[in-house]
């Protein structure tokens, strides 16, 4: 297997964490997309409890917290991300309502029906879309909301190269209608879905990586793992630019059924 065809999951977690901790965002998205998704959610008050699962360093969490009342808990597996998360929350003056904790998506530290909103941008794939939908549901209050962005196919068929890439990286990728059907089967009412614009990838995700990649390679000269990680990410960007009409991230907003 050539280095450019390695998936991100095959690299050392410490390298991945160090690389992505230098970025504002750990996946495609934008403040505008976060706020557009938030616009479909109408039940939030000063007493609301919100969780951002797979929060990374919290770029989207701070956007969320600046536009809602209530408390926001960010959860991520990587302690370094959470250290950055809490430092930046303090710098933004949000520390009274926003806290980052180290934890795993498959063992959430919340009580049943504690949360008014579960947020997760580009992270549910870590445990799988359907599994996340089903396991997280019990933590939502009846009528509580789920807002997640997830990689999805835009077309029923696609070129073999990009199909193979995604089958290696995330076989649970599926078309938008199939994702919505999964949401319904898991006991939610689909509220809205929208495709993240191209700028969420190019301007907000890939462009900031260019200087980080140069610094990373300079910091680890001759390190094969560092070179392979950067090569893999550059290959991923190249594939996106060639095949972006076939796939992307989709924001799905759903509401837990009252019964």
Query: Residues 33-42: pLDDT tens digits?
Result: 999 999 999 9
Mean pLDDT across the chain, nearest whole number? 93
Per-residue pLDDT reduced to its tens digit, 89-112: 999 999 999 999 999 999 999 999
Residue 99: its pLDDT value, please?
97
Mean pLDDT in residue range 146-170: 97
pLDDT at residue 194 tops 50: yes
Residue 3 has pLDDT above 50, yes or no: no
Residue 254 predicted with pLDDT over 90: yes
pLDDT at residue 4 tops 70: no
Specify the pLDDT at position 43.
84
Model pLDDT, residue 259:
67
The confidence score (pLDDT) of residue 14 equals 80
User: Is it the case that residue 49 has pLDDT exceeding 70?
Assistant: yes
**Residue 94: CB partners within 8 Å, gap ≥ 6?**
62, 65, 66, 72
In whole angstroms, give the CA distance from residue 193 to residue 180: 9
Residues 50, 43: Cα–Cα separation, whole Å? 11
């Amino acid at each position: 297997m050539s280095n450019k065809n390695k998936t991100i999951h095959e690299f050392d977690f410490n390298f991945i964490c160090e690389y992505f901790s230098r970025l504002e965002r750990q996946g495609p998205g934008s403040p505008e997309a976060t706020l557009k998704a938030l616009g479909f959610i109408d039940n939030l008050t000063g007493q609301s409890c919100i969780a951002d699962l797979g929060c990374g360093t919290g770029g989207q969490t701070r956007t969320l917290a600046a536009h809602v009342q209530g408390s926001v808990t960010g959860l991520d597996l990587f302690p370094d991300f959470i250290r950055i998360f809490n430092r930046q929350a303090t710098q933004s003056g949000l520390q009274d309502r926003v806290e980052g904790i180290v934890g795993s998506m498959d063992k959430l530290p919340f009580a049943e029906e504690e949360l008014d909103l579960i947020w997760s941008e580009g992270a549910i794939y870590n445990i799988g879309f359907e599994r996340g939908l089903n396991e997280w549901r019990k933590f939502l209050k009846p009528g509580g909301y789920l807002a997640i962005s997830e990689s999805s196919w835009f077309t029923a068929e696609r070129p073999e190269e990009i199909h193979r890439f995604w089958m290696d990286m995330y076989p649970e990728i599926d078309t938008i209608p199939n994702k919505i059907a999964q949401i319904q089967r898991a006991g939610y009412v689909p509220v809205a879905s929208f495709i993240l614009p191209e700028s969420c990838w190019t301007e907000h995700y890939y462009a900031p990586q260019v200087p980080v990649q140069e610094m990373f390679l300079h910091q680890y000269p001759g390190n094969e793992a560092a070179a392979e990680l950067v090569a893999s990410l550059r290959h991923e960007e190249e594939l996106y630019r060639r095949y972006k009409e076939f796939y992307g991230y989709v924001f799905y907003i759903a509401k837990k059924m009252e019964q």
